A and B are shown apart, each in its own frame.
Chain A
């Protein structure tokens, strides 16, 4: 029997307030609370609590408070509880420590050390309530120049543009695979994307037939496991994304345990019920850049050159050179996922130690593509820890065309970032396939909340843009003069291509 070291939380219950309604007991999927009918008291087993806040939110009398324990071991800056507990667990099991969501360490965030500009005197700011503010964004390859034809004083276009994605707001929902999240979540993402004029990424688990009607707003993913990839799937999506890597776990594959593979997921992923869905670390037909080119063109052929092809990589040390190769291999979109990128399950050691911050990756990739004169040939989409509209604009000013959000979207529908997605017991009904728990997400309400989030962010983006005196998002894209850094070294500033605040 393994020792339960707990997660470092106390559950405090105000007994005067508790009415023994047992909501907490029913809601907790980790069996933290139980009712002792003899003593008429609800007791909580602290060590089971994961601090998901489900019981706290639903308690009708606000009787529950969850508190973080102070270190139970002697305080030590180097040997924190996390390190000590990990070792103890591994000493018992010989296993890897799993976790969910993105890296939670403080060191890798640059957003908070970057500031945006605004207009004063020499150019006027614009009031977005009274004047148009344009966020429309097109993703895909653009030519360097247009060819026009003139006949009898009439002009016509000779250039045909390759397929583009049209985004009403430069924010898309990042890959969340069916299986990692429930059907209801997938449905809400699809509906919200379609309502907001943007796109959701299916993730690597295919797209349930019931959601094919939202295909116009879907980016369908082709990953190393090829789950759910069939002609209909490719046909129904607006774009196809080849997933090479993921920011939370660069270089490693994925594993959906067999117990999560019920009838619907089995059908969608095209694997037998109850079998593990294992995504290999690499795509076994891509061992080099020329192999990637073959897959890009295989997908272009398969879709009759009617859809942009995206290639998603985790941001790693040499992502600038890799991105250049991807563009030259024919991709229309390069998707970069930074070290803070989220996941349903990953070894903690990988999540917290592999990859690079997305801010630096955007800057170096954008600059490299410009230096090579191929920036127009592909769009850059970035993801990995975008928390608010300020992060979105900073990413765009650093050189991204659009951003992917996933954690923010999940938070909008209930997630509290407790990092236990890998257990399949998500008390909020998000990262689970358990039919009983998944019902906790109401697709109608979740859709509304996602649409609201995008609307709120787009209003904020317009407000910031107006303040800068800019009325079209393309004038911010790659406009690093709109950014300044604080608390950064010269090397960091030059890597980001921005100046110090005050300069």
Chain B
């Protein structure tokens, strides 16, 4: 794949980024105006080689159908992929993703499909695995097609350009969602490949990430033991698969996961009460290979939940703010203040301390376990 995410086939893609997340915990949908403005405020954090947005609650009229956003390098790939889609899914609607002229670089063919799996014998989890399997197949098989969004009632929009240009290109100002996560990139070694921009998505999970994991090699090897193939060579991918393994497959609560990815120091664990110490020790013993070492800040989202986390010694900036029903997560506090000057509360979460926003009434039934780490 000469257009792959990392054409030099280095160990991994090295980049640095700006993150922003905004959520209305009442589930009220709002337009892209504010998130875009916040991203513009952090223009310095990107270099025009990639930006993207994930919008949750975007397609209420199709909320029971998986929405696939696919980019094609040529029409042949489109034909082939559509054959695969038709064989496996009922296609409710397919259309060109609406775009307009903007300062973006070499856009591919962009198409979206609202679909449901043909077979009805699956339950929800099997459906999800079915979707994951088909997405992986499309992304690797045809070589010139890439599914960059595959969840229900949500959509990812991304490409090569500055955030405001990508937003303009996809006309995101007009779109509405109850939760937005946004990303702009400063890659140091990747070509302008649209699939390489973030958010990274599978099902309704998205990850936006800023960092450079020194532990990437072992994180990747560990995930490979559980069947994950890290083909994109990005930290973001490793982060996404870790959440998938721990949250979706092993059903661990967020508080536990944050203590796996960014655990407290042994010196802190030594000071804990006996019961707590035992738990934290065992977490590090068992999941040491998933410790994300090196700088990172990440926003992971899926329907009803937005999680922000930074590394254990906080080597990347990460701020949070609240105003009424709105929760903001951002690489820079200034970006939050640029759209909401009078915050009720603003704080800099400590390294390894997760910030979790949840819908008061989840829109979609979910398995996320709502408990705090009380031992």
| Assembled-state Cα–Cα distance A123/B293 (Å) | 10
Contact A481 to B217, CB < 8 A, known contacts A373-B225, A475-B291: yes
B7 interface residue (CB < 8 Å to A):
no
Residues of A within 8 A of B80 (CB): none
Find out whether the CB atom of A474 lies under 8 angstroms from the CB atom of B291. yes
| Assembled-state Cα–Cα distance A468/B266 (Å) | 20
Residues of B within 8 A of A477 (CB): 218, 288-289
Q: Which of A373, A469, A499 is close to B11, meaning CB atoms less than 8 Å apart? A: A499
Contact A150 to B371, CB < 8 A, known contacts A124-B295, A136-B266, A477-B218: yes
Find out whether the CB atom of B217 lies under 8 angstroms from the CB atom of A123. no
Find out whether the CB atom of B266 lies under 8 angstroms from the CB atom of A138. no
| Assembled-state Cα–Cα distance A67/B57 (Å) | 83
CB distance from A402 to the nearest CB of B (A): 13
**A159, closest chain B residue (CB):** B282
Q: Which residues in window 117-164 of A have CB below 8 A to B?
A: 119, 122-124, 126, 131-132, 134, 136, 138, 142-146, 148, 150, 153-157, 159, 161, 164
A478 interface residue (CB < 8 Å to B):
yes
**A481, closest chain B residue (CB):** B217
A340 interface residue (CB < 8 Å to B):
no
Q: Which of B215, B224, B375 is close to A154, meaning CB atoms less than 8 Å apart? A: B375
Find out whether the CB atom of B266 lies under 8 angstroms from the CB atom of A478. no
A-B contact count (CB 8 A): 127
B16 interface residue (CB < 8 Å to A):
yes
Residues of A within 8 A of B267 (CB): 132
Residues of A within 8 A of B312 (CB): 471
Find out whether the CB atom of B218 lies under 8 angstroms from the CB atom of A479. yes
| Assembled-state Cα–Cα distance A134/B221 (Å) | 21
B12 interface residue (CB < 8 Å to A):
yes
A413 interface residue (CB < 8 Å to B):
no
Q: Which of A123, A146, A155, A164 is close to B294, meaning CB atoms less than 8 Å apart? A: A123
| Assembled-state Cα–Cα distance A154/B16 (Å) | 38
Find out whether the CB atom of B293 lies under 8 angstroms from the CB atom of A161. no
Per-residue CB contact flags for chain A residues 475-503 toward chain B (1 = under 8 Å, else 0) read 11111111000000000000000010001
Find out whether the CB atom of A157 lies under 8 angstroms from the CB atom of B278. yes
| Assembled-state Cα–Cα distance A136/B266 (Å) | 8
A370 interface residue (CB < 8 Å to B):
yes
| Assembled-state Cα–Cα distance A147/B81 (Å) | 40
A472 interface residue (CB < 8 Å to B):
yes
B87 interface residue (CB < 8 Å to A):
no
| Assembled-state Cα–Cα distance A138/B289 (Å) | 13
Q: Which of B214, B221, B222, B286 is close to A123, meaning CB atoms less than 8 Å apart? A: B214
Enumerate chain A interface residues (CB-CB to B < 8 A). 119, 122-124, 126, 131-132, 134, 136, 138, 142-146, 148, 150, 153-157, 159, 161, 164, 370, 373, 375-376, 468-472, 474-482, 499, 503
Give 6 pairs: A residue, B residue, CB < 8 Å, sorted on A.
A134-B266, A161-B282, A373-B226, A376-B286, A476-B218, A481-B217
Query: What 11 additional pairs, Cβ within 8 angstroms, besides A146-B256, A482-B214?
Result: A122-B212, A123-B211, A146-B286, A150-B371, A155-B371, A469-B214, A474-B289, A475-B291, A478-B222, A481-B11, A482-B217
